[in-house]
Amino acid sequence: MSKTIISALRGMYDLLPDIVPQWHHIETTARGLFQRYGYSEMRTPIVEDTQLFARGIGELTDIVTKEMYTFADRKGRSLTLRPEGTASIVRAYVEHKLYSRQPFSKLYYIGPMFRYERPQTGRNRQFFQIGAEAIGSSSPLIDFEIIEVANSFFRSIGFKKLVLILNSLGCSKDRPRFAESLRNYFADKLPMLCPDCRERLDRNPLRVLDCKVENCKRLAAGAPTTEQHLCEDCKRHLDTLRELLKRSAIEHVLDPRLVRGLDYYTRTVFEFQHPALGARSAVCGGGRYDNLVEQIGGPPTPAAGFSIGMEATLIAMEREELHAPPAPMPAAFICSVGEAALTEAALLTAKLRNTGLSVEMDYEGRSLKAQMKLANRSGVRLAIILGDEELAQGSARVREMATGEESIIPLADLESSLPEKLNQK
């Protein structure tokens, strides 16, 4: 055995059995919902051609410039561990020409994403996302549905404190105009901006708006807003969406500074935030991306989607003291006394399990007392005791853990009488 212990990589961690039920709970909830809303699961590779993300997410975004797990394979191609899910889904949509077979596709995915960042609570290098994409419609009804599924998901989990933040970035005609007027506005204020913002102004001026430096905030307050640069269509789109949200009682706040970091967003962008999460407060982010499909090489196809952060959701659940329903306990624990009985116990365990019961036993020939302790801890309703006395008369002793009541039951009858005993209250 080697002396140096190999541990998981930084920002990546193991999900031990005691928390996996929480994950299942979230996944099952999401799957049930997607099925009800008509979204089908799609699974795509975790590794893709680096170009996919560079083109899709944006060459100049932080994700692409400094957060991707990129490496060369044995033939020198540049590959990247997916940093998000949408680009892959769209790639598959285009590659398999779903636009002609199923032009309007509602898809979802669940899986790990990778970003090389400095880990922090709720932020890891491998993290899981649950995402949905509705590809092939520009209707605001879709924006509404997307937000509504996400909202419904969080409600199903039991959240009370989520805040929905909404904005519109405008269409591909509005965005450049807006960027231009931001540059003009900040042109003479350049020296007063933080160094980061000076660079942002160049690369992605929208991001200056959500800078957290006090001085920048103050300057940004007087800056032109997205609202002022929306064309008539975009304005109407946003109004319709807000009306739908209002009429279905989904509270939201319009935040003209909500920008988001991926280049592909157009028009609607939104975020669900949880106040107890600290700086990394978003549990879900999404929006419309009307140009991405075309950018990836497909026909012009509007689309919208979101992605929920698993870890962030889990942490928020903890802070709101929301828990998954408890995992089911085994029904019975078989205790044996003596070597002959130990063998019989193994056979009986197998037999009962084959009838569909969840049964546990002790494999080590421990003392009866120790086995009873195990039985007690495993939370079973019944302990089945097998010893020389019982074996001699071809029966087993069945003990109700709650009351201590015991009865002798012939081995042949166990199979039929156990379910009965388990059903009675």
Beta strands in 294-390 (DSSP E): 303-309, 332-336, 359-361, 382-386
Which range touches RNA (CB under 7 A), out of 15-23, 31-39, 344-352, 398-406?
398-406
- Least Cα distance to 311 among 99, 3, 23 occurs for 23
Helix or strand holding residue 250 (H, E): none
Should residue 401 be labelled a site residue for RNA when binding is judged by CB under 7 A?
yes
Nearer to RNA, 9 or 187 (CB): 9
At 288, which amino acid appears?
R
Nearer to RNA, 76 or 404 (CB): 404
Q: Closest approach of Cβ 88 to RNA, in Å?
A: 14
Going by C-beta distance under 8 Å and a sequence separation of 6 or more, which residues neighbour residue 227?
A: 168, 256
Beta strands in 218-331 (DSSP E): 253-254, 266-273, 282-288, 303-309
Should residue 278 be labelled a site residue for RNA when binding is judged by CB under 7 A?
yes
Should residue 11 be labelled a site residue for RNA when binding is judged by CB under 7 A?
yes
Cα–Cα–Cα angle for 183, 184, 187, nearest 5°? 80
Please identify which residue in 30, 63, 89, 361 interacts with RNA, judged by CB under 7 A.
Answer: 63
Please identify which residue in 47, 79, 141, 213 interacts with RNA, judged by CB under 7 A.
Answer: 213
Which range touches RNA (CB under 7 A), out of 171-179, 226-234, 236-244, 364-372?
364-372
DSSP sequence for 187-205: HTTGGGS-HHHHHHHHH-G
Residues 132 and 306 sit within 8 Å (Cβ to Cβ): yes
Q: Closest approach of Cβ 153 to RNA, in Å?
A: 12
Please identify which residue in 84, 133, 145, 174 interacts with RNA, judged by CB under 7 A.
Answer: 84
Please identify which residue in 26, 134, 262, 332 interacts with RNA, judged by CB under 7 A.
Answer: 262
Q: 30 phi and psi, to 5 degrees?
A: -65, -45
Should residue 87 be labelled a site residue for RNA when binding is judged by CB under 7 A?
no
Positions touching RNA (CB under 7 A) are 3, 7, 9-11, 13, 61-63, 67, 84, 115, 117-124, 127, 129, 196, 200, 207, 211-213, 260-262, 271, 278-285, 307-309, 311-312, 337, 366-370, 372-377, 383, 385, 387-390, 397, 399, 401-404, 406
